[in-house]
Amino acid sequence: MPGRKKSNNLREATAFAFLAAALYALNMPFSRLLLESVEPFFMAAFLYLGAGLGMLGLWYFRTKPKDRTFATVTKDEKPYILGMVLLDILAPALLMFGLRRTLAANASLLNNFEIVATSLIALLLFKEAISRRLWIGIVLVTLASVLLSLEDFSAFRFSSGSLLILAASTAWGLENNFTRKLSNRTSSDIVIIKGIGSGFGSLILALLTREAFPQIGFILLTMLLGFVAYGLSINYYVKAQMQLGAAKTSAYYAIAPFLGVMFSFLIFQALPIISFWVGLILMAAATWFLITDTISIQHTHLHKHTKIEVKSVGSDLVSDTVEYTHSHFHAHHKEDEEGHDHSHPSDAGTNIIKP
């Protein structure tokens, strides 16, 4: 029955969205654990290589031999790909050095500063509009980040670990804006490019700085974490988005930092100080404004198109009418109801890709 099938598809897509968030939430606490045995540059390298090589394997086994080709990198894409890879070398290194000096629960929440950085860079460099709700969310995330970063309230001294994580989030914010310029590429393409490119770049840095080479068991665990927390997370995110649309999927995915906090409590069993709980409340309020802003400006529906295919049959040309349906996303801004932003599932998936 069509109705029951649609309902099952929506439930499956919702499960994929939550699964994507849960898998990404594993990143902070387990990275913090592995940093006790793996140096930061090697950690970043094997996380990214795990994601890139893992997604390359999935793509290879899921794709028919005749379709195993990557789209040619265009001249316009080259600077954005280079910028994306370089920033994905810098950002995870900053994150790993920061994680060594702060709590994993703090790091999970501070990672939300990436939203602030992404939005402000989009405003300043690419002249994108920011809605009222998004401004409120930005202010609340910033206040929470300041509170979570303070090490000594009396001297107003900031934690070096928290500042490094905020720097990583800012680098990822710029990287997000570069990635959005690669809208013609699938999410798998992007994860493979940035995973392998940034992974090998971080590996070179680790060797140049003479970090201690980790044991093979820890290398495999780190690559597995990268594949699960980055590669599979994005894979399930895209699956969910195809059924739910960009707005609903990103709303479900917004629970990732809070799941990261929960996992951190379960693993490390250390309760933070009162400022953490205030920061958590501010971050939850910010997330609500960000989610409602996303849902209020986006909706998704199906478009049916008719195209005429011309086929060669013997020496004759025969036309054939074919109908096909695909998802289409529109963004309606309250300030300008006539404005439309036309993007497709492959575009939308690139906006929040991590790593």
pLDDT per residue as tens digits for the range 6-33: 667 788 888 888 998 999 999 999 999 9
Residue indicated by tokens 């099952």:
8
For 37, which DSSP code? Answer: T
Residue type, 352: I
The answer, yes or no, to whether residue 221 has pLDDT greater than 50, is: yes
Question: Looking at residue 153, what is its pLDDT?
Answer: 59
The yes-or-no verdict on residue 342 having pLDDT over 80 is no
User: What mean pLDDT do residues 302-311 have?
Assistant: 42
Count of all residues that appear for the chain in the document: 355
Domain assignment of residue 187, yes or no: yes
Q: Which amino acid is at 203?
A: L
Residue 227 DSSP class: I
* pLDDT > 90 in the chain, percent: 38
List the structure tokens of 95: 């994150």
Count, in order, helices (H) and strands (E) of the chain: 15, 4
What's the confidence (pLDDT) of residue 337?
35
- Statement: residue 70 has pLDDT above 90: no
In a domain, 57, yes or no: yes
pLDDT tens, position by position, 191-204: 899 899 999 999 99
Q: Is residue 332 a part of any domain in this protein? A: no
**Segment among 94-98, 176-180, 226-230 with least mean pLDDT:** 176-180
CA dihedral 334, 134, 283, 84 (to 10 degrees): 130
Sign of torsion over alpha carbons 201, 81, 122, 290: negative
Is pLDDT of 301 > 50? no
- At 38 the pLDDT is 96
Distances (CA, A) of 238 to 10, 179, 233, 342, 346: 14, 15, 9, 18, 8
Torsion, Cα of 254, 116, 55, 213 (10° steps):
-110
Is residue 335 assigned to a domain?
Answer: no
Confirm if 148 and 276 have CB atoms less than 8 A apart. Answer: yes
Does position 315 have pLDDT exceeding 60, yes or no? no
Asked if residues 55 and 235 have their Cβ atoms less than 8 Å apart, the reply is: yes
* Domains in the chain, number: 1
How many Cβ atoms sit within 10 Å of the Cβ of residue 323?
Answer: 8
| Per-residue pLDDT tens over the stretch 275-300 | 899 999 999 998 888 777 765 554 43
Give the domain range for residue 218: 2-298
Q: What is residue 308's predicted lDDT score, i.e. its pLDDT?
A: 41
In a domain, 345, yes or no: no
The answer to whether the CB of 36 falls within 8 A of the CB of 214 is: no
Q: What is the pLDDT of residue 272?
A: 79
Tens digits of per-residue pLDDT, 118-174? Answer: 888 888 887 888 888 889 989 999 999 988 888 765 555 788 999 999 999 999 989
Which of the two residues, 100 and 248, has the higher pLDDT score? 100
Give the model's confidence band at 207: pLDDT under 50 very low, under 70 low, under 90 confident, else very high: very high
Of residues 235 and 342, the one with the higher pLDDT is 235
Residue 264 or 342, more confident:
264
Angle value at C-alpha 158, between 277 and 164, nearest 5 degrees: 95
What does the pLDDT read at residue 63?
82
What was the pLDDT predicted at 320?
Answer: 45
Rounded to an integer, the average pLDDT of 319-328 is: 41
- For 153-172, give the DSSP string: TTTTEEPHHHHHHHHHHHHH
Say how far apart CA 54 and CA 69 lie, in whole Å: 17
